[in-house]
Chains A and B, each alone.
Chain A
Amino acid sequence: MTVGKIWVFVEATDGGVSNTSLELLTKARDLAETVEGVSVAANDVAAAAGAHGATTVHQVDGTDGKLLGPAVAGAIAAAVEAGTGPDAVLIATSYDGRDVAGRLSVKLDAPVITNVVDVVDDGGTLAGVEPIFGGTTNVTTRFTSDKPDIFLVRPKSFAAEESGGAPAAVSGLSVPDLGATGAAVVTNRFVEEQTGPSLDDADIVVSGGRGLGESDKFEMVEQLAKALGAAPGASRAIVDAGWVPYSYQVGQTGKVVKPNVYIAAGISGATQHLVGMKGSKTIIAINKDPEAPIFSVADLGIVGDVHKVLPKLIEALQNR
């Protein structure tokens, strides 16, 4: 074991526990003698967290109707100051996870290693592996201070595996006075309607990019996705252009997907995009530019016009 104690920020979802949290707990078991969770819903996540290796989940109270970052970071920092904190904290690159990591980093005056896809033993200390340049190069970084290590880890970096552990014990972490930093209040939550599988869980993902030419052509991507029972996705270029909502975005910003099959239509394959999808098992690319970087990661590449290939492909699949 590399370190004594790792804390994982365990995020609750509507249906239970975030998959990424379970991935982090699984990884933490390889690295630390003791794995514990920190959560704003400890009772809800204790069973799953325990089954993935956490012995205790520390409850952070007082976040009802609030954003989580300040309170969770405040509670962890207070524990560190009291000498009861962890050697390292693993946090998912999620909306709330980034808030927690940023706030915690300042409270501890300690750096964060971000975009981590692996945490490894480097001669008795932890080090984070981060892909750069579109995932062609891996950089391994370790902390040089004696503060707790803060790793912000990308989703789907590890496979979640149960340890067979009993439900985690629940204990409380005290939250210090947050002053003005805790003043943001959530007044309403909106859940966007979603039909078909989500980008996170889909076996097949079909994404469209700038090569579609104009926004109403994204319909072809949706039709192809429907014909395959797939989730539709998009490159940052067309999200920024306002063709589809941010929730469709696959890439460095946006979602990391690792489906069985990924189909990229009219996507050139900017670094930003490749990082989010090159872990897919099989990649099919359709693009008219034979030099497009997307072809360097494609198992099957069709050099052709998406406006010609996609309609025929949709028709052929519908006729099967």
Chain B
Amino acid sequence: MNVVVCVKQIPDPADPGALDPETKTLVRSGKLILDESDSYGVEMALQLVDAAGGGEVTLVSMAPNDEQSGLRTALAMGAAKAVLVSDDALRGSDSLTTAKVLAKAIERTGQPDLVLTATESSDGYTGTVPEQIAELLSLPSVTFAKSIAVDGATASVQRQTEAGYDDVQVPLPAVVSVTAGVVEPRYPSFKGIMAAKSKPLDQVTVADLGLEAAQVGWAGAGQEIVDVSEAEAREAGTIVEDDGEGHQKVVDFLAELKVI
């Protein structure tokens, strides 16, 4: 079974960056890392391919500046190869454009049995890309998967709901978005890290995918930012050191608020 995992390389969340006041684009500096949200999909894909007894995991990613370091992390975990779309024209791309680019990149890998994604990225968090990819590829989809089991040409998925979860059966090929935390992503071994350096990485441009620059990035976003402003800040509160009686301050405060 062949599984494609869409992964995003993001700035370290410990350093969230800023908006460029001129271009209103997120300014990313420093090395990009594999979005932790995506490590669950990579792990899930590796487990499914193992269980199927054959096939491989292919990564698909879109990133500025030929960035590969996050992809190498996922390759070190065990993915076989990767497609990286890197093109200056992609700057400012919205979720729909991102999905169009990723869908084209997925098609470039051949015909996967399953496409996995995270439910949303940790830095952009629109949460619409998985479903957009599915629609672009005319595939069925299941979002917010807690678990996936594949039997022949069907996947059984537990899908998170407001009240609990649904058992969903979906014929393959399909797109499934994986909820964070549902599997334990493996740490790359030293051997894996060394092997990852020579695994195939197919780097392509927007033109290579048959898309035009005018369809992507700011030009293709179909929207414009009209205002950026400071949000209303909360008034500063009282911060006290616990001297062994900190709990009493909480009790007093709750009593003052008349909730106890």
Residues of A at the B interface (CB closer than 8 Å) are: 13-14, 67, 69-70, 73, 93-95, 98-99, 101-103, 105-107, 109-115, 122, 127, 131-145, 147, 152, 179-192, 203-204, 228, 236, 239-242, 246-247, 252-253, 260-261, 263, 270-272, 278, 282-284, 286, 290, 295-305, 308-310, 312-313, 316-317, 320
Cross-chain contact B171 with A300 (CB below 8 angstroms): no
Check A192 against B250 for contact (C-beta < 8 Å): no
Among all A-B residue pairs, the 10 with the closest Cβ atoms = A304-B242, A102-B131, A106-B135, A301-B239, A192-B164, A313-B247, A140-B227, A299-B237, A312-B247, A188-B167
Q: How far is the CB of A183 from the nearest CB of chain B, in Å?
A: 4
Tell me the minimal C-beta distance from B97 to chain A in angstroms.
8
Q: How far is the CB of A70 from chain B (nearest CB, A)?
A: 8
B-chain residues with CB within 8 Å of residue A271 when the two chains form the complex: 13, 16
- B135:A103 contact, CB within 8 angstroms: yes
- B70 interfacial by beta-carbon distance below 8 Å: no
A182 touches B140 (CB 8 A): yes
Q: Known A184-B141, A240-B36; judge A190-B167 contact (CB<8 A).
A: yes
Which residues of chain A are within 8 angstroms of B221 by Cβ–Cβ distance?
Answer: 111
Q: Return B28 CB to nearest CB of chain A, in Å.
A: 14
Contact of A189 among B19, B130, B161, B223 (CB under 8 A): B161
Which of B135, B142, B181, B257 is the one whose CB lies under 8 Å from A239? Answer: B181
- In chain B, positions 76-104 with a C-beta closer than 8 Å to chain A are 94-96, 99
Q: Give the segment of B47-55, B120-128, B200-208 that binds chain A.
A: B120-128
Residues of A within 8 A of B140 (CB): 70, 180-184
- The SS class assigned to the A binding surface is mixed
Contacts of B95 in A (CB 8 A): 102, 105, 111-112, 114
Minimal beta-carbon separation of A280 from chain B (angstroms): 10
Q: CA–CA, A135 to B16, complex, Å?
A: 13
B231 adjacent to A135 (CB under 8 Å): yes
CB neighbors of A among B122-162 (8 A): 122, 125-132, 134-136, 138-144, 146, 159-162
Q: Which chain A residues border B170 with CB–CB below 8 Å?
A: 183-185
- Given A111-B94, A137-B19, also A105-B132 (CB < 8 A): yes
18 pairs, CB–CB < 8 Å, chain A vs chain B: A69-B143, A102-B132, A106-B135, A112-B96, A112-B126, A179-B138, A181-B138, A184-B140, A187-B167, A246-B181, A263-B250, A295-B237, A296-B236, A298-B239, A299-B235, A301-B238, A313-B247, A316-B247
Question: How distant is A152 from chain B, measured CB to nearest CB, in Å?
Answer: 7
Interfacial residues of chain B within 192-224, with CB under 8 A of chain A in the complex: 221-224
Contacts A186-B168, A246-B160, A316-B251 hold; do A138 and B229 have CB atoms under 8 A apart?
Answer: yes
Q: How far is the CA of A110 from the CA of B221 in the complex (A)?
A: 9
A241 to B235, CA, bound (A): 33
Check if A184 sits within 8 Å of B168, measured CB to CB: yes
B-chain residues with CB within 8 Å of residue A304 when the two chains form the complex: 241-242, 246
Selected from A181, A228, A236, the residue in CB contact (under 8 A) with B139 is A181
Given contacts A102-B99, A107-B135, A180-B171, 9 further A-B contacts (CB under 8 A): A103-B134, A109-B96, A189-B166, A242-B184, A271-B13, A295-B237, A295-B239, A300-B238, A300-B240
Please tell me if the beta carbons of A102 and B230 are within 8 angstroms of each other in the complex.
Answer: no
Shortest beta-carbon distance from A185 to chain B in Å: 5
Of the candidates A241, A283, A309, the one whose C-beta lies within 8 Å of that of B181 is A241
Given the contacts A98-B131, A313-B251, A308 and B259 also touching, CB distance less than 8 Å: no
Q: Which residues of B contact A252 (CB under 8 A)?
A: 125
Structural contact, B238 and A111, CB atoms closer than 8 A: no
Question: Measured between alpha carbons, how far is A185 from B233 in the docked complex, in Å?
Answer: 46
The answer for the CA separation of A188 and B158 in the assembled complex, in Å, is 9
B18 proximity list for chain A (CB < 8 A): 133
- Least CB distance from A247 to B in Å reads 8
By beta carbon, the residue of chain B nearest A302 is B246
Contact mask for chain B residues 98-114; partner A; CB cutoff 8 A; 1 contact, 0 none: 01000000000000000
How far in angstroms is the closest Cβ of chain B from A188? 4
Q: Which residues of A contact B237 (CB under 8 A)?
A: 283, 295, 298-301
Contact A114 B260 (CB under 8 A): no
Q: Is there an interface contact between A140 and B226, defined as CB atoms closer than 8 Å?
A: yes
Q: Nearest Cβ distance between residue B17 and chain A, in whole angstroms?
A: 9
Nearest Cβ in chain A — how far from B100, in angstroms?
Answer: 9
Closest chain B residue, CB of each to CB of A186: B166
Which residue of B129, B164, B225, B247 contacts A190 across the interface (Cβ within 8 Å)? B164
B242 proximity list for chain A (CB < 8 A): 286, 302-305, 308-309
Residue of A nearest to B230 (CB): A137
The 8 Å CB contact of B132, one of A106, A140, A263, A301, is A106
Q: How far is the CA of A169 from the CA of B237 in the complex (A)?
A: 50
